[in-house]
Structure formats: structure tokens, C-alpha cells
Chains A and B, each alone.
Chain A
Amino acid sequence: MSTTVARGTFTPTPPPPEPAPAEPNYLNNGYGIWSWLLTTDHKRIGILYLVSITIFFVVGGIAAGIVRLNLLAPDGAIVNEDTYNRAFTAHGVLMLFFFLIPAVPAVFGNFLVPMMIGAKDLAFPKLNLASWYVFIIGAAFGVWAILVGGIDTGWTLYPPYSTRSSQSNVVPGVFGVFISGFSSIMTGLNIMVTIHKMRAPGMTWGRLPLFIWSMYATSLIQLLGTPVVAITLTLLTVERVAGIGIFDPLIGGDPVLFQHLFWFYSHPAVYIMILPGMGVVSEVLTCFSRKNIFGYQAVAWSSMGIAVVGFLLWAHHMFVAGISFYSALLFSFLSMLVAVPSAIKVFNWTGTLYKGSITFQAPMLFALGFVVLFTIGGLTGLFLATLGTDIHLHDTYFVVAHFHFVMVGGMVLGYFAALHFWWPKMTGRMYSDWWSRVAAAIIITGFFLTFVPQFILGYHGMPRRYPNYPQEFQVYNVMSTAGASILGLGYLLPVCYLTLSLFFGQKATGNPWSATGLEWASPSPPPVFNFDESKMPVVVCGPYEYAIGIDQMGRGLPEGPSGGPSSPASTDGQSAPPGPMNKETEVVG
């Protein structure tokens, strides 16, 4: 495509002509099942992950549906207590381990990291494929555990219940999580090495798109946290199988130790889930407000800050579990600390929006939803990090609402923002603009209706995970279930219009949003090695030069989606000055 034009002799022509239908890309580079199952192309592996986690999202969503429907009546509307326990555990395990953790890192991390930094593939393509297989094996164990009856311990698997009393299929479930953990480590390792080693010429650390920074921070957590949960789950399995283990209070063991080890991973794991979403939002907000990010360094470093500080505060899950008072004080303080980098991000996003030329395409709507819901989720987290209020709110629906605001309101919306933003790049097709906006509106509305009543429920003391509740809570529960139905409908819409777009969607240009990242410099869908072999990208400036209207290779941007001229460069016919830009900032040596 455009890459046939030598840089320097470049003229700011409008978007490169659409690739001819026969142009080879990664999608038509081979058909048949084996061309997918044995691929080492990071883009195809990203698609494999996309398909698999969508399945888990649907199954996890069904489990959530069972939970919500059952809570319509105070004494359980549709299933018995045991089934209810299994349903919420299935929801938790599937959504966390098999959807949220791989969602952005494995799908978009795989697909985009090499493209954004101008590489042909990840550092270890075979390891990448292996990670998908490992994930699938882990998932198979998880599915097996659910098919033969499910697990009833909750996703946290606390002993001694999980090791002694539970009559359900703890071992295959734990094994599934254990194995999928290795997939997460492999992906993290791969992405980290890729970012270190394979950046295009000129792609300095200070010019990395913020999505890359957030993926880097995420990978760091995956590498450092996952092994600890792996050993913890090993110990748990040994204890359950052999009947003797180190969490067994009968021989002097401490079940709280499991919680320490578990949360040492699982708290940072929530940052595995949220950080990539933050990266996506940084990309989308800048693109649709046509502005440079406000405070690049602050946003980049706050990602790293969250990754590090995220490891220091796990015990706030355990304030009432019998940990030491002084320790609880310390952890309460440290938990407050993580609000700082998170707040820096929200502040900078707001600063980015300020005086921007904002357009409201679907990705932007999802990203704005992310900012609002994440802020609410984050602020309510402070209530829980405070020792006194936590004793009142611990294990109530307040907690449930809090983490759903962050995980669903934050991460799932971030995921949808990413999906809608990069869908044209991934598939080469545009989806329905109108329907996607409607879907965003429905999802956000349904979300509020589902989870705001849960804050109230929790504040009034309804404990989480209980199948029954007093009569006076029914009205809120009905509201919440109603909201969940709207939310469910909202999720169905993208499934429909995105699928339809594959067949009937208008063909996407290389850069439909007029965005600056390197991934948009390649046609949609990209060729097998992402960029023209003879003309690998050379980066000359920072990632968000919307104000002067150039992309990272210093070329003018094509017309934006809202029609009309989108950048001074494309109207003035001025090409950006070649060579290093003044905006370049060296963050890491």
C-alpha cells in the first residue's frame, strides 16, 4: 500500500488507495483449520484467543444470568442453594481466569503490540502459539470441572473449605486455573521481550504508545505474580488430594496463609485486568478528541506505578480474616496509595478531553464509559480500603458492586472500546455506526441499573454469595436483575452487528479513524508480516501528534471518520518535518 512511497518524497495525499481484493493479508494467507491451529502469526493467534474468550464470556454470562434470576425471589427463584453456589463460582472462575485476564493482553496484546512498535511478530512466535494451547488445555480442565458438576467454593477457593469440606470438583478446576496461569506467563514474557527487543528504529521508550506501556506493566505483573498463585494452587491441590498440607489447622497450619499467597497474585491480577483497559482508553480518547495525551510521562509512569504498588496491598482483602491489626493498618495505608496513580490517569484523561474536538463514535463512547465507571469503582474502593468502613462493608454486595464497576464497567468496556476501535484493522470491515452507538448506550445504562442497587444493598448489609435474603431487599434485587437483562441485551447487540459486518460490512481503509499509531500505517487487514518487507516503519515522533496531524512515521493523517478535514496537515498540504520531533521524550535510557 502506501509504503511504496519512499519517506521523504512523501506527499500528503489522502488515505492510501484501498488494497485490491486480491491483496494478500493475514486472513487470506491460507484457509483451512490447520492454517489457523498451527499458525505462529501473532494476529491469527490473537483471533484464536478472541474466539475462545468470547465463548467463555458467553458461558460466564449465562452463569451470571442464573445467579441474577435466582435472586429475584428472597428464597431463590429458580435453582437450589447448591446449584446457586456452583453458578456464582462458575461465573467468577470463567470471567476472571478465562475471560478478563486473557481478554486484552492475549487478544489485543498479541494482535497489536508487534504492530504498534513496528515489528513483524512477537519475539517468540512458537511460544505464543504454545500459550494458546496451554490456555485451551487449562480451559478444558475448567470446563470439565463445570460439566461434571461445578465447584462450590467461590472463585477464591479458600481452605479449609476447599480442601476438606467441599464435595465439588475442586481439583480439576484448580488444575485448570493453574495451567492457564502458565499461558498468562508465556504471553507476558513474550510481550515484554518483544517490547524490549523489537521496537522499530526511532521507537524510543518515550515514543511508545501508552497501550504498550500498559501492556508492559501488565506483563510485569503476570511474570511476577502468576508463579506465586501457581505454587499456592499446587499446595492446595496437594492438601486436597493427600489429605495433608500446610494450610491444615489440625497440624498447626494457617488457612490465612493461603489467603496471603492467593491474594499476593490475585490482587495484582485485578491490575492485569484493568491496566490494559487503561492503555486502550489512552489510545481511544486521544484519537477521538484529536489531541495529544495530556501528560504522557505521567500516564506511562502511573502504569508502572500501579504495577508495583499493586503488589503491596493484597491484604486489604483480609482485614476481617484474622490478620494482625498493625499489618491491617499498613495495608490500609498502602491501598490508599494505589489511588494516586489511578487518579493521575483519570486526571490526565480529563485533561486530554479538555478543548478536544470530540466525536462520539462507539469506541469513544465505551472509553468515556470506562472513565466514568472506573472512577466510581475506584472511589468506592477507597471505602473498602478504609479499615473501619471495611468491617461494615466486607463481603457485602457493596464489594460486589465495587469490583463489578472496576472489572465490568472498567475492563469490559475497555475491551469493547478496543474491539470497536481495532475491529476494522483486525477484520478489514466496518460495523454499523448507529447500532454500535446504541449498543454502547444500552450497555452503560444496563450496567448502572444492575450495579447501583447493589451498592445500596451492600450498604444495608446484604452479604455476597448468599442465595437468600430478607424480604425488604427484594426491590433492589429485582432492579438489579432487570438491569442485568438490559446489560445482557446490550452484549448481544455487538455479537450481532460485528458478525454481520464480517459479511456485509463496508470495507475498511487502512486508517478509518485517522489515528496516528503505526498499526494504522498498514492496510486493513494487515499483511502477514504487518508491514511491507522492503519498507519497515521508521518512527520520527511521539504517538499522539493529532494536533499537527501526523502519524508516528511523520506522515499526514487521512480524513477522519466524521468527514471533513481532520488535521491541519491534510488540509494545508504540509508534510511534517522529518527527523526527530520536539515532543520526543526519553523516558527510559
Chain B
Amino acid sequence: MAHSHHSTAHNSHSDLGEVDSPSTLITVYVIILALLAATVLISMSGSLGRYTLFAQLAISSIQATIVGCYFMHLRHSDRVVTLTALASVFWLFILFVLFMSDYMTRHMVVSG
């Protein structure tokens, strides 16, 4: 609701030039499905061993980015919106990194 309520003011948003064609959207859709197949196959085979998790998360992130850019129209949005989206990623990063700073080093006992 943040920006869109006011989007009537700048009608460039509804320019037909910015409407994705169905073929683009369907291509995007197929790519996401292909990625899904990839992640499932990787996981089932277990061939990557301990790197499976990283592969899975990497694929999920790529999917999320594609959804963000194409389905959620981040490609066409103004800077504030992009910044907001990036802020959420940044704060997630804070959350994870600082959590891990505790949990990954907790077993290291300081002696002396």
C-alpha cells in the first residue's frame, strides 16, 4: 500500500511499455520450475554431500530474486521500493550473522 496508493499520481507506472508480455512471464515461470526440479534432484541424489544445503539455499535465493524482480515488479519500481526490499535482506543478514557469531563459536572454550 505504501507506494501504490499514490501511484495514480505518476501514471508512467501503467505505461504499456512496462507491462511484461505473457511470454516473458511464462519464461520466468518455467525457469523457476526448472530450478525447483534442480533443487529436488540435487537433494534426492545427495551427491553434493554436505554442500547440499548450500546448493538448496542458493537455488531458493535465485528463485526468490526472480520472483521479486519479475512477479513483484522490482525491476520497474522506484528507488525507495528497491531500498526497502534490500533493507529487509540487510536486516536478515544482521540477524543471521550475529546469531551465528554466538552459535558457531560457543563450543570454543577459552582457556587460561
Contacts and interface: CB of A to CB of B under 8 A. Distances in A.
Interface of A: 123-124, 189, 193, 196-197, 224, 228, 260, 264, 311-312, 314-315, 322-327, 330-331
A169 B80 CA distance: 43
A327 B102 contact: yes
A193 B2 CA distance: 6
A228 B104 CA distance: 21
Nearest to A264: B95
Interface of B: 1-3, 5-6, 80, 87-88, 91, 94-95, 98-99, 101-110
Contacts of A314: 98
A143 to B, nearest CB: 31
A312 B98 contact: yes
B99 to A, nearest CB: 6
A327 B2 contact: no
A123 B3 CA distance: 10
Contacts of B108: 324-326
Contacts of B2: 189, 193, 196
26 contacts: A123-B5, A124-B5, A189-B2, A193-B2, A196-B2, A228-B95, A260-B99, A311-B91, A311-B94, A312-B98, A314-B98, A315-B98, A323-B102, A323-B106, A324-B101, A324-B107, A325-B105, A325-B109, A326-B101, A326-B105, A326-B108, A327-B102, A327-B105, A330-B98, A330-B101, A331-B98
Contacts of B109: 325
A324 B1 contact: no
Contacts of B105: 324-327
Contacts of A260: 99, 102
Contacts of A326: 101, 105, 108
Given A224-B87, A311-B91, A323-B106, A196 B98 contact: no
Contacts of A315: 98, 102
B80 A312 contact: no
Closest 6 CB pairs of A and B: A327-B102, A324-B106, A324-B105, A326-B105, A327-B101, A323-B102
Contacts of B104: 324
Contacts of A197: 3, 6
A193 B99 CA distance: 30
A530 B6 CA distance: 21
A330 B2 CA distance: 36
Contacts of A323: 102, 106
B78 to A, nearest CB: 11
Contacts of A327: 98, 101-102, 105-106
A312 B94 CA distance: 7
Most buried by A among B2, B6, B98, B108: B98
B106 A196 contact: no
A123 B1 CA distance: 10
A315 B5 CA distance: 39
A124 B6 CA distance: 11
A189 B2 CA distance: 8
B48 to A, nearest CB: 26
A113 to B, nearest CB: 16
A415 to B, nearest CB: 28
A90 B86 CA distance: 38
Nearest to A228: B95
Nearest to B94: A311
B55 to A, nearest CB: 26
Contacts of B101: 324, 326-327, 330-331
A224 B91 contact: yes
Contacts of B110: 325
Given A311-B91, A324-B108, A330-B101, 11 more contacts: A193-B1, A193-B2, A312-B94, A315-B102, A323-B102, A323-B106, A324-B107, A325-B105, A325-B108, A325-B110, A327-B101
A324 B103 contact: yes
A315 B105 CA distance: 14
Contacts of A324: 101-108
Nearest to B103: A324
A193 B3 CA distance: 8
A224 B94 CA distance: 11
A123 B109 CA distance: 53
Contacts of B1: 124, 193
B106 to A, nearest CB: 4
